[in-house]
Amino acid sequence: MTSVWVVDSNCFIHIGEMAPESFIRDLQKTLENESMSIFVTPGVHDEVRTVKFKRWPDKPNLLDKMQDVLNTITIDESEIRTLAKRIGEKASPQDVDLSLMVLATKMSKEGKDVTLVSDDFKMTLTGSGSSFGFDTCPPSTFLQRLSNLGPENQRNCLRSLSRRVRAAEMRYAISRAGEYDIQEKLTWMVDSLLTSQVNLDSEEDSSTISDERKMIAGLIRSIRGEVIKKSLLNKLGSLPEICAPVARLDQHLTSISSSESSDDVVQKYDKTAQILSEVLESTGIGLAPLGEDMAEIAHRAMAGHLYRMESALGLMAKMSGRLAVSRLHLSRALHFATLVDDVGAEMRAMHQLGLLALATDDWSRAAPLFETSDRQAQQIGASRIPHLVTAAISRHFNGDEELASSHIKAAASLVQNSKAESTDILTGIGKALLAVDCPGLAIEVFDEAMECAIESEQRDRLEKLADYLLLANTAINDNEQNQFEGLRQLLDGLNDIHEDVRDEFETKITEIDQRSSEFSKPLDETWTEWQDVSRLIPAGQPLTVLRIDEDDDGRALVVTHHAEIGALGLWLPDGGIEAAPGNLIQIKGSKIKVATPTELLREMHNIRGLVAIQNPEVLTFSVRTEEIIDEEDEN
C-alpha cells in the first residue's frame, strides 16, 4: 500500500526553526527509499510563505527549497464546508486544517496509507472520532518515523531534528496547562512516539505476500515468453498455459501501430474486439475450475495486457466518433490499471475519461477526473500541466472560479520553469481538445503554446501552431466564440509573456485572424456540373474532419478543413459515416459538384462551400494508428 504524509503548517514552521542544512537531502533520500510522498494544500503555502530556514546560511525561504518534495492539491471549498458541517462547525479546526483533513480522507479512500501530521490535537480527536480512515501524529513523530525508515546515512540528522521538535512540542503543551487539560494530548504524543517504529507484518503473512508477488511476476514473465525458474513454474501449475493466449493482445496491438495510418478504423476496432473476446473466452475456460487464490494471481498477471487492449479499443472508438463506447472501454482500462497498481496507466486512463466528459460538457464529472490524474502525476513525477489546465477549464465552466484559478496558478509555475517543454505540452493539450470537438477550448490553449514557442525561440513550432490555430478557428462558429471570453482571461494566467516578444506574438495572431477571415468567405467559384476533384482540392491532399452533423433522417454533413482552402461541407445524403474530429478524408475516383452554402449552414459550421460527391463509396477515412498504443506503458 502506498504511504503518504499530509502535513500541516506547524510542522514546516518547526522545520524552518530547527532543520540543519542537510535536511532537504536527507528527506529526499528517505522519501525515495520508501516510495513515500508529502502532500499539502494551497492554504499551507499561504501560512508558511515567509518561513525561512533559520539555521542555514543566508536563511533561504523554506518553500523555495522544499518545492520539489511537496505535492500540492487544491480542495474544493464545498468539500471543506461539507466536512465542517459533518463534524460540527463550532468544533471545526481552521479552514486550512479542514482542507488537509479532506485531502487525507480522499487519499485514504483511494487505498493509500495516510498519516496526517499535525500538533493540533483537535484534528486528531476529530479524525479519530469521525472514522475518516487516516492516522495522525505530531511533527516530532513524523520525523522520528522518517528516521527509522530512511537509509543509514540519513537517520542521525532526522532523529536529532525529531528530538528538538519534540522538546518544543512538550514545552508548548506544558505552557498551555493553565488553559486546558493537557494530559490527553501528552498521552497521544507519547503513544505516537512508542509506535513510531514501523509495524511489520508477521513472518507468515509477509512470506505469503512475498510468494504471491513472486508468482505474479513469474507469470507475467511466462506470458512474455521469458524463462522462469523451475521451482516457480511448479508453483504456478497450469497458469502459464492458461494465460499464454493473452500474449496475442500485445502482438495484435503492435501490428496495428506498425503502420502510420489506417483507412478503416471501424474494421480494426471490430477485429480487435473479436481477438479480445477470443482471449477472454479461452482464459476464462481455463481459470473456471481453479480456486480463488490461483485465479486472482492470473487476473493480476493479465491485467496489464487487458489494460492496453481496453485503452486501444477506447481510443479507436473515439476515433470513429463513438464516445459512449469509448468511455466504456476506458473505464475498463482504468479498472485493469488498478489491478496492476500502475499509477501511470491509471493517470492516462483517467485523463482520457476526463476529455470525453469535456466533449459532452459534463464539467462536474470532468473536473475530479483531471484532479485525480494530477495527483497521480505527482506520485510518478509526470508533467502536471495537462491535468491542471484541463481541470482549470472544467472548474471554470462548472462555476468553481477559485479552484480554477488555483489550478492555473499551479500550472503557471511549471510553465515558467521551461517554456520550450511547455510549448510541446500545451500543443498536445490543444490537439487533444480538437480531437473531442472542443475547438474553442483548443484555441485558448494554442495561444499560450504560441507565446511559449516565441519566448523560447522555437521558430519551427510557430508555423505548425499557426496551422492548428487556423484549423481551430475554422471549426468554431461566431456564437461559440462568445462563450470563451472568461476562459481566455483565466488561461492568460498560464504564461506572462515578456514585453520584448509581445509584438511578435500579436503580429502572428493578426496574420492568423486575417487568414481565418478570408476562410470565412464563400468560395469564389462553384459549379453544378460534375468536375474532377482536383479542380477544388490539390491532388493527393486530404481534408481534416472537424465534425459530423447528422439530421433526423440520417443524412450527414461532414465538416472538413483544408489548410489552403478552409472549411468545406461534404454532403452525404446516405449517411452511415463513422468518423471523428481529426480523421483524414481523401476523395479519389469520384467527381464533385460545389455549391454556395446557405446562410444558416455558414453560421452553423463556418463552411465556404457545400460539396456533393458523385461516388461517396470511394471516400476513405484514415486515422493515425500510432496514437492507438500508449507508448508509455511498460509491463
Structure confidence at residue 511 (pLDDT): 84
Dihedral, CA of residue 443, residue 449, residue 453 and residue 454, to nearest 10? 60
pTM equals 0.65
Kindly state the percentage of the chain with pLDDT values over 90. Answer: 21
d(CA 305, CA 236): 19
The domain made up of 3-194 is a member of CATH 1.20.1250.20: no
**Mean pLDDT along residues 27-33:** 84
The cell for 411 is 500550472
d(CA 578, CA 318): 10
> Domain limits of the chain?
3-194, 201-341, 418-520, 527-626
Please state the φ and ψ torsions of residue 16, each to the nearest 5 degrees: -60, -35
Structure confidence at residue 191 (pLDDT): 57
**Mean pLDDT along residues 215-227:** 88
**Mean pLDDT along residues 322-337:** 86
The cell for 439 is 475547438
Structure confidence at residue 13 (pLDDT): 93
> Going by C-beta distance under 8 Å and a sequence separation of 6 or more, which residues neighbour residue 519?
470, 473, 474, 565, 566, 567, 606, 608
The cell for 129 is 472520532
- 159 compared with 15, residue with greater pLDDT: 15
pLDDT band at 202 (very low <50, low <70, confident <90, very high): very low
At 64-118, the pLDDT tens digits run: 899 888 888 888 888 888 887 776 654 455 688 889 988 988 888 777 788 999 8
Q: Is the dihedral of CA 386, 387, 389, 390 positive or negative?
A: positive
Per-residue buried b or exposed e for 170-190, using 16+ beta carbons within 10 Å of the residue's own CB: beebeeeeeeeebeebbebbe
pLDDT tops 80 at residue 531: yes
pLDDT tops 70 at residue 624: no
- 517 compared with 222, residue with greater pLDDT: 222
Structure confidence at residue 106 (pLDDT): 84
pLDDT tops 50 at residue 633: no
Structure confidence at residue 12 (pLDDT): 93
At 442-488, the pLDDT tens digits run: 989 999 999 998 888 888 888 889 888 888 888 876 555 556 777 88
pLDDT band at 262 (very low <50, low <70, confident <90, very high): low
**Mean pLDDT along residues 125-136:** 64
**Mean pLDDT along residues 500-508:** 81
Structure confidence at residue 520 (pLDDT): 79
pLDDT band at 427 (very low <50, low <70, confident <90, very high): very high
What CATH number has the domain spanning 527-626? 2.40.50
**Mean pLDDT along residues 245-260:** 80
- 207 compared with 108, residue with greater pLDDT: 108
**Mean pLDDT along residues 538-546:** 83
E strand or H helix at 431 = helix 419-435
At 342-400, the pLDDT tens digits run: 778 888 888 989 998 988 889 999 999 999 899 888 878 889 999 999 999 999 999 88
**Mean pLDDT along residues 271-288:** 93
Please state the φ and ψ torsions of residue 139, each to the nearest 5 degrees: -55, -40
- Domains 3-194 and 527-626 fall in the same CATH topology: no
pLDDT tops 80 at residue 128: no
- 32 compared with 192, residue with greater pLDDT: 32
Structure confidence at residue 207 (pLDDT): 45
**Mean pLDDT along residues 585-603:** 86
Neighbours of 221 (CB within 10 A): 16
Region of poorest pLDDT, from 47-51, 135-139, 625-629 = 625-629
At 145-195, the pLDDT tens digits run: 888 876 776 677 888 888 888 888 877 777 666 655 556 655 666 655 555
